Structure 1
Amino acid sequence: MPKAQETVLEIDLKSLEHNYQYLRSKVEPTVKMMAVVKAFAYGSDSVTIAAKLEKAGIDHFAVAYTKEGETLRAGGIEKPVLVLHPQPHNLTLLIDNCLTPSLYSKHILTEFIKTAEALKLKEYPVHININTGLNRLGFGLEEIDQVITLFKNTLAVRLVGIYSHLAASEDLAEKEFTQGQIETFKKASGKILKAFDHKIMRHLCNTSGILNYPEATFDMVRTGIGLYGYGNSAQEDKKLKPVGTLKTIISQIHNIKAEESVGYNRAFIAKRDTTTATLPIGHADGISRIYGKQKTAVLINDKEAPIIGNVCMDMIMVDVTGIECKEGDQVIIFGKERSAEKLANNAGTISYELITSISQRVKRLIID
């Protein structure tokens, strides 16, 4: 890997392919796999990630919103793209880009049918979301009969997928709840399958579902965080490789005397003579204020340097007392050498939030 000369997010496509193949090995060959590439592919680069996965053999993609799917199509991605949370005002744009909507309520379902009929479409493919306990989006069990009727009364759309979201598949203490979700999904989807005579895919498992509930893989699985190198457990993290490595450099070194302060609001007061390094990365780049005040550390020449004081918009200051370093030296924020999961946990959050927060002003460097 090249040494950083500025703040940069390296995106290692070989690690991506490793993670994809590992997760693929956890399901039967007949089970399809959907890659979740929403939020700039979890803070990396959605088109680059999708293109690599398309070459590797991925079956489907998923994004949160229509504009994200439009970006994939503009980047040459051809595989089916499921839009998990389409909005009524974007339905024509969704259709123009040959994206597949997830329909999660009577309102969005009727709006989509109305749009498809107005455009004189025939059997446009859609998925529906069943609420099995996450209580975020999705049809309730009491609405299933009405959903079936709506589909049977139109030729403009065709139901090709049924899915739901597991709420706590990474937490084995919630196994009973998860198994209840699985049974609810079987009941709801089974009723729908009996109402139609064509093939309808079912998908329920996310990354942790793939790893912890192999009996619930159905026709397809969805994986997001696992593709990017995090398995929601220390054991699985060892088998995956972080795709993104966030690096920066030391801009300046200061010698701070005891009782002097560092940064805004004098949030750090030196208890002893201290050497600090200022780094060109801050909360505008995705390293928010929760990482300051010595709760977390960065890696400089293989040694941990705590982030001191308040994180600034464009800079952070770290304690490098006792660390041999100089201006221009490379700094690892997170990546293979230092897990984003560890950094996030120390600040009281999760790797998902950290990696998806990396600003688009941070340069992306593709490593393949």
Structure 2
Amino acid sequence: MPKAQETILEIDLKALKQNFEHLKSRISNGTHFMAVVKAFAYGSDACEIANYLQKLDVYYFAVAFVHEGVALRKAGITKPILVLHPQAANFNLLIENCLEPNLYNAKILNEFISIASAEQQTNYPIHIKFNTGLNRLGFSENDVNSIGEKLKETTAVKVKSIFSHLAASEDLSEREFTLNQIQKFKTIAENITNTLGYKPMLHICNTSGILNYPEAHFDMVRSGIGLYGFGNSKKENKNFTPIGTLKTIISQIHTINKGESIGYNRAFKTERLLKSATLPIGHADGIGRQYGKGKGYVIINNQKAYILGNVCMDMIMVNVTDIDCKEGDEVIVFGPNTTAEKLAETASTISYELITGISQRVKRNFIGN
């Protein structure tokens, strides 16, 4: 692979395919696969990732908001797209682009039926979410009858799937809670199916659900973080390869005398002679201030170089006193070896936050296609 000459996020499509194939190997042949490409495909590039996955055996895509789904349609995605958190203000746009809404309470259900009816839709596919313990979005199990009554009054919509979301599927110490969620979902699914008079698809498993609860794969599973190379545990991480490598270069090297300071607010003061390297990446690129003051690090010539002082908007300074390096050398912020998960841990956060926060001003380069 060519060395970086600027700040760049390198996306390995071969690794994406391997992650997808591993996830597929963990589900039964009759279970469909939904690829979650919300948040710019977890910081990579939703249109590029979705177009690549569309060539594989992906049955559905999922995004968070309507405008994300519209972007996929404009990029040539023809597979069904579930919008996980649609707003009523965008329902006409959603219908115009053949997107499928998650309807999660009475207000949003009534508003969508009203708009679908006004648009003279028939059997427009909708998805009904139930809250089984995450307490974020979703109808309660007590709403089954009222949902059924409402849907029997209209031919504008038809339920494509019933689903829920596991709260702690990656945490095996919460196994009892997760099994209770799954059982509650089974009960809801049976009741809503009887009420509707037909059987929609069922899905509850996210990436960790796929890996830890095969008995709950039902008709479809949803994977986001697994596709991008993280299995949410040390054991499962061995089966995945992070698809993104964030690279930059050394712009300048300084020799800093004892007693001098580095960066804004003089947040780092030297106690001895040292060398610092300035890199063209900062909090506007997704490396937040929480990584500063010696918490976060980058890799230069296979050695850790810790961040000195405060992270700037467009730059960070790192300690290269004991590293043989020069201006123009490549720097790895995270990748398959020194992962985003490891870097995120230094700031007491998670890989999800780090990778989805990489600014779109950072150039994406796709390899392995």
| TM-score category of the 2 structures, normalised to the smaller one | over 0.9
SS in 1 for 2:298: strand
1:209 has 2:191 as partner = no
RMSD: 0.7
Q: Deviations over 1:279-332 (max 9, x none)?
A: 000000000001111112100011100011100000000001110100000000
SS in 2 for 1:125: strand
Q: Give the corresponding residue for 2:329.
A: 329
Q: Give the corresponding residue for 1:135.
A: 135
Shift of 1:141: 1.1
1:15-34 matches, cutoff 5 A: 15-34=15-34
Q: Give the corresponding residue for 1:290.
A: 290
What CA distance in whole angstroms lies between the structure 2 residues aligned with 1:365 and 1:305? 24
Structure 2 unaligned regions, length at least 5? none
Q: Give the corresponding residue for 2:163.
A: 163
What CA distance in whole angstroms lies between the structure 2 residues aligned with 1:47 and 1:70? 10
What CA distance in whole angstroms lies between the structure 2 residues aligned with 1:259 and 1:224? 48
Shift of 1:194: 1.4
Q: Give the corresponding residue for 2:184.
A: 184
Shift of 1:53: 0.7
What CA distance in whole angstroms lies between the structure 1 residues aligned with 2:191 and 2:153? 17
Kept in 1, the 8 Å contact 2:145–2:195? The answer is: no
Write the letter of the residue equivalent to 1:89: A
Kept in 1, the 8 Å contact 2:130–2:162? The answer is: yes
Q: Deviations over 1:236-259 (max 9, x none)?
A: 111101111100000000011112
1:74-113 matches, cutoff 5 A: 74-113=74-113
Kept in 1, the 8 Å contact 2:134–2:167? The answer is: yes
Shift of 1:160: 1.1
% identical aligned pairs = 60
Structure 1 unaligned regions, length at least 5? none
Shift of 1:196: 2.9
What CA distance in whole angstroms lies between the structure 2 residues aligned with 1:308 and 1:168? 36
Shift of 1:361: 0.4
Write the letter of the residue equivalent to 2:76: G
Shift of 1:197: 3.4
Q: Give the corresponding residue for 1:45.
A: 45
Q: Give the corresponding residue for 2:195.
A: 195
1:72 has 2:72 as partner = yes
What CA distance in whole angstroms lies between the structure 1 residues aligned with 2:66 and 2:356? 18
Q: What is the count of residue pairs matched by the alignment?
A: 368
What CA distance in whole angstroms lies between the structure 2 residues aligned with 1:84 and 1:361? 26
Q: Give the corresponding residue for 1:219.
A: 219
Write the letter of the residue equivalent to 1:343: L
SS in 2 for 1:227: coil
1:274-313 matches, cutoff 5 A: 274-313=274-313
Q: Give the corresponding residue for 1:243.
A: 243
Write the letter of the residue equivalent to 1:96: E
SS in 2 for 1:225: coil
SS in 2 for 1:102: strand
Q: Give the corresponding residue for 1:270.
A: 270
Q: Deviations over 1:82-133 (max 9, x none)?
A: 0000000100100000001000010000000000110111000010110001
Q: Give the corresponding residue for 2:230.
A: 230
Write the letter of the residue equivalent to 1:228: Y
1:333-352 matches, cutoff 5 A: 333-352=333-352
Q: Give the corresponding residue for 1:6.
A: 6
Write the letter of the residue equivalent to 1:110: N
Write the letter of the residue equivalent to 2:204: L
SS in 2 for 1:226: coil
SS in 1 for 2:191: helix
What CA distance in whole angstroms lies between the structure 2 residues aligned with 1:44 and 1:246? 10
Shift of 1:337: 2.6
TM-score, normalised to structure 2, is 0.99
**Stretches of 4+ moved more than 3 A in 1?**
none
TM-score, normalised to structure 1, is 0.99
Shift of 1:144: 1.2
Write the letter of the residue equivalent to 2:327: E
Shift of 1:142: 1.3
